[in-house]
Amino acid sequence: MKKSATVAIYDTTLRDGNQALGVSLSLRDKLRITEKLDELGMHYIEGGWPNPTSTVDIDYYREVKSLRLHARVAAFGSTRRPGVKADKDLFLPQLCRAGVPVATIFGKSWTLHVEKVIQTSLEENCAMIADSVAYLKRRLDEVIYDAEHFFDGYKADPEYALRTLEAAAEGGADCIVLCDTNGGMLPDEFLTIFNEVKERIGVPLGVHMHNDTGCAEANSCLGAIAGAVQVQGTINGLGERCGNANLCTIIPNLQLKRGFRILSDHQLSLLTSASVFITELANVTPNYRLPYVGEAAFSHKAGAHADGVRKVRQSFEHIAPETVGNSRSFIVSDQAGASTILEKLSDIQPDLDKKDPLVKKLLHTIKNLEGEGYQFEAADGSFEIIAREVLGQFREPFSVKGFRVIEEKRENGCVFSEATIKIQEDELFEHTAAEGDGPVNALDNALRKALVKLYPSLGSVKLDDFKVRVLDGRDGTESKVRVLIESSDGESRWGTIGVSTNIIEASWKALIDSMKYKLMKETLTGSSKKRKRKRPSPRSV
């Protein structure tokens, strides 16, 4: 086993991962994922391409500066255009204006792309690479050069492909990353080419692999073992076509199997929760069979496997699941998941013992909810409400006596949405109606209209994001849906969740929790101020 080896992990989930089919991250998604990646210990986080046509990425680089990050944030772009000076290029100056210390640019390694795609000469392409790297290096701390389509280019014309790398080295690149952009490399061929390049190029090398042959993780690991100082990839392997190299597989492979010291033990134990968190925010169907972090990664059915792992863990498990924050799915005792629950409870009641009956009760509650389709990795608000209710630290301040939603298609083609709700707080009632742009918005408006009369501080709560996922489409329109809401009050943000076969009810559960969370926090800090009112009789709209 290789001992004490080091390699930098470069995460491109926010850019390359965002190009995956069905993924479209909002600005708030990107910022939340950035914080999660930083907590996980990523060395580099690539935020996107800050060009004038991408307002989300430009806003990202402006707002990411307010986050307290340990990771180095990188801005992504390309070399200058043919026949244009670097300082007059449309995109290169944007990388400098992004205000982050690292720029990563890609250039062409394959003669096919040079002559047929960007339609310039081989000499001009090399000049574009050297000029662009030098321009950025004079202005930024670090420049990473991504050699796009390098392996295909090397197979077509080895000397020219190497010449493009030498151009990047001449420009002052800090690291040259060999990219398998088409994802077609098999491990033996990849390793042969990588070692040949290492003999010729003196600049530190990295690897960026796509998964079109199912070999992205294997190739990435081989690259690191052979001397690559940087491995690029995405969480859960998100990316174009078949995806990018999956960092959730690469990191534990290198750290647990080959002795690389990439993350701290604590950070490694956050890997599964980070995987689930990003799955939720990306609003994609989770791959339960992902190595290490998938729900099925340490599942054991009844029979020889289950019996064996109960007797000797390593008989049917290649690592201890808790190492990466996962757990065995067949265990039903209160020991299952207790450490995970305690981790989440550390900020709520740090001195709580895992043998406390309340932990057992909370674990049972959470497991039952997860069985119904709930996931709490991105719904911290809902989890804390449940935990504090079980621990006796919070009591529901109001109750919902009922709600009704009316949808009406009118002659002018417009759809009219109206919601009415009845809220009770002690002996006070609010029976309120509101319109909205759709049934969920109408419910949200009616809920706020009623509750602000009782709790004025709820006027500051805003719904920042709303996501819906069908949990299993086999039941068609009867399928369960999971609604994830992100709310804020101008000072903090929290996520809440609802699950039901009825999308309105699922949304309602998440909306109610968003308000309850705000009231709970105020109650715990002593800042709750309920508006004093005379006790009325039940009232209508």
pLDDT in tens, 410-445: 878 888 899 999 988 877 788 899 999 899 999 999
Half-sphere exposure of 159 toward its Cβ, with a 13 Å CA cutoff?
2
Let me know if residue 331 belongs to a domain. Answer: no
User: Which band of pLDDT confidence, cut at 50, 70 and 90, is reported for residue 3?
Assistant: very low
- On the question of pLDDT at 5 being above 70, the answer is no
Q: What is the mean pLDDT of residues 506-525?
A: 93
Let me know if residue 262 belongs to a domain. Answer: yes
pLDDT reported for residue 96: 97
Let me know if residue 414 belongs to a domain. Answer: yes
The SS3 call for residue 142 is strand
User: Which band of pLDDT confidence, cut at 50, 70 and 90, is reported for residue 472?
Assistant: confident
Q: What is the mean pLDDT of residues 77-103?
A: 96
Lowest mean pLDDT among 292-301, 418-427, 473-482: 473-482
- Residue 355: what residue type? K
The residue assigned the tokens 């909370």 is 362
Higher pLDDT, 34 or 349: 34
Q: What is the mean pLDDT of residues 102-114?
A: 98
pLDDT reported for residue 378: 86
Q: Angle CA(389)–CA(393)–CA(394) in degrees, nearest 5?
A: 55
pLDDT reported for residue 1: 44
Q: How far is Cα 223 from Cα 207, in angstroms, rounded to an integer?
A: 7
Q: How far is Cα 522 from Cα 519, in angstroms, rounded to an integer?
A: 5
Q: How far is CA 301 from CA 147, 327, 331, in A?
A: 46, 14, 10
- On the question of pLDDT at 90 being above 70, the answer is yes
Q: Which of 282, 302, 334 is the last residue of a domain?
A: 282
Lowest mean pLDDT among 35-39, 336-340, 461-465: 336-340
CB 510 within 8 A of CB 481: no
The SS3 call for residue 499 is strand
- On the question of pLDDT at 289 being above 60, the answer is yes
What does the DSSP 8-state code read for residue 234? Answer: B
Q: How far is Cα 29 from Cα 246, in angstroms, rounded to an integer?
A: 20
Lowest mean pLDDT among 25-34, 211-220, 339-348: 339-348
- On the question of pLDDT at 337 being above 70, the answer is no
Question: What is the per-residue pLDDT across 223-251, written as a single tens digit (0 to 9) for each?
Answer: 999 999 999 999 999 999 999 999 999 99
pLDDT reported for residue 227: 97
pLDDT reported for residue 406: 93
Q: Which of 255, 282, 309 is the last residue of a domain?
A: 282
Let me know if residue 259 belongs to a domain. Answer: yes
Bridging pattern class, strands 462-470 and 481-488: antiparallel
Q: How far is Cα 219 from Cα 185, in angstroms, rounded to an integer?
A: 8
Averaged confidence pLDDT in the chain: 90
Same domain, 275 and 403: no
* All residues at 6 or more sequence positions from 525 whose CB lies less than 8 Å from its CB, including other chains: none
User: Which band of pLDDT confidence, cut at 50, 70 and 90, is reported for residue 539?
Assistant: very low
- On the question of pLDDT at 537 being above 80, the answer is no
Q: Which of 282, 304, 337 is the last residue of a domain?
A: 282
pLDDT reported for residue 331: 36
Q: What is the mean pLDDT of residues 481-499?
A: 92
User: Which band of pLDDT confidence, cut at 50, 70 and 90, is reported for residue 340?
Assistant: low
CB 174 within 8 A of CB 185: no
- Per the document, the length of the chain is 541
Q: How far is Cα 131 from Cα 126, in angstroms, rounded to an integer?
A: 9
Q: What is the mean pLDDT of residues 91-111?
A: 97
Higher pLDDT, 433 or 530: 433
Q: Angle CA(175)–CA(94)–CA(74) in degrees, nearest 5?
A: 35
Higher pLDDT, 151 or 53: 151
Return the CATH number at 207: 3.20.20.70
Same domain, 278 and 403: no
Let me know if residue 311 belongs to a domain. Answer: no
Let me know if residue 365 belongs to a domain. Answer: no
CB 367 within 8 A of CB 337: yes
User: Which band of pLDDT confidence, cut at 50, 70 and 90, is reported for residue 336?
Assistant: very low
Question: What is the per-residue pLDDT across 62-82, written as a single tens digit (0 to 9) for each?
Answer: 999 999 999 999 999 999 999
Let me know if residue 87 belongs to a domain. Answer: yes
- On the question of pLDDT at 330 being above 60, the answer is no
User: Which band of pLDDT confidence, cut at 50, 70 and 90, is reported for residue 2?
Assistant: very low
pLDDT reported for residue 243: 97
Q: Is 221 exposed, middle or buried (0-12, 13-18, 19+ CB in 10 A)?
A: buried
- On the question of pLDDT at 329 being above 80, the answer is no
Q: What is the mean pLDDT of residues 514-530?
A: 83
pLDDT reported for residue 425: 82
* All residues at 6 or more sequence positions from 395 whose CB lies less than 8 Å from its CB, including other chains: 389
What does the DSSP 8-state code read for residue 262? Answer: -
Return the CATH number at 483: 3.30.160.270
Residue 137 sits in which domain range?
8-282
Lowest mean pLDDT among 92-96, 336-340, 374-378: 336-340
pLDDT reported for residue 63: 97
Secondary element (H or E) of residue 167? helix 158-171
Q: How far is Cα 262 from Cα 328, in angstroms, rounded to an integer?
A: 25
pLDDT reported for residue 535: 45
Number of domains composing the chain: 2
Lowest mean pLDDT among 322-331, 334-343, 493-502: 334-343
Let me know if residue 226 belongs to a domain. Answer: yes
Q: How far is Cα 306 from Cα 317, in angstroms, rounded to an integer?
A: 11
CB 297 within 8 A of CB 330: no
pLDDT reported for residue 296: 86
